[in-house]
Amino acid sequence: MDTTMTAPRIDRGSTPTTAIYSIGGNLFFERTFDAPRERVWQAFVDPQIVPRWWGKHGTTTTVEEMDVRVGGAWRYVNRADDRDPVAFYGEYLEIEAPERFRWTFLFDVPGVGPQGGPETHTFEDLGGRTRVRSVGEIGSAEDIEAAIAVGMVEGGIELWDRLSEFLTEG
């Protein structure tokens, strides 16, 4: 099995560590949050909560659609003062609350069209803490390197930093 580290395990001081790695054409993000699984699950599936943590600092996210059921659509629009809005969207493919969900994760690249693919999130109960693993089915090693080049890793880390901050707000 081909295992390639696409980024080191990143330690950001007091911020929990996010492990990022690739195996074949899949890109993995993994992090343990100091919150019960039900709370972490809700942060991912509640349209009132998602805008509180989804997106980089300095951006705002609007949940335009979020039908959390197999076959249901989702669409978030992320806005910042220094760029045009970016839409992220897809369809829920599998849901096993509160253990996992699988969806298509797409976004439009100007001049290129939709990018992305299936993504699976798992939520492991660690007795008051929760390990979340996100597996993006990117395609090839070249596709993963292209995603890294446009900031996907940094954006994912910042997103999960914001989720961690939200979860510890009480």
d(CA 121, CA 76): 17
Q: What is the dihedral of CA 139, 79, 34, 14, to 10 degrees?
A: 90
128 burial via Cβ count (<10 Å: 0-12, 13-18, 19+): exposed
Per CATH, is 3-46+95-168 categorized as 3.30.530.20? yes
Q: What is the pLDDT along the chain (170 residues), one digit of tens a residue?
A: 332 233 333 333 344 688 888 888 899 999 999 999 999 999 999 999 999 999 988 899 999 999 999 999 999 999 999 888 989 999 999 999 999 999 999 987 767 678 789 999 999 999 999 999 999 998 888 888 877 777 778 888 999 999 999 999 86
Q: What is the per-residue pLDDT for 16?
A: 60
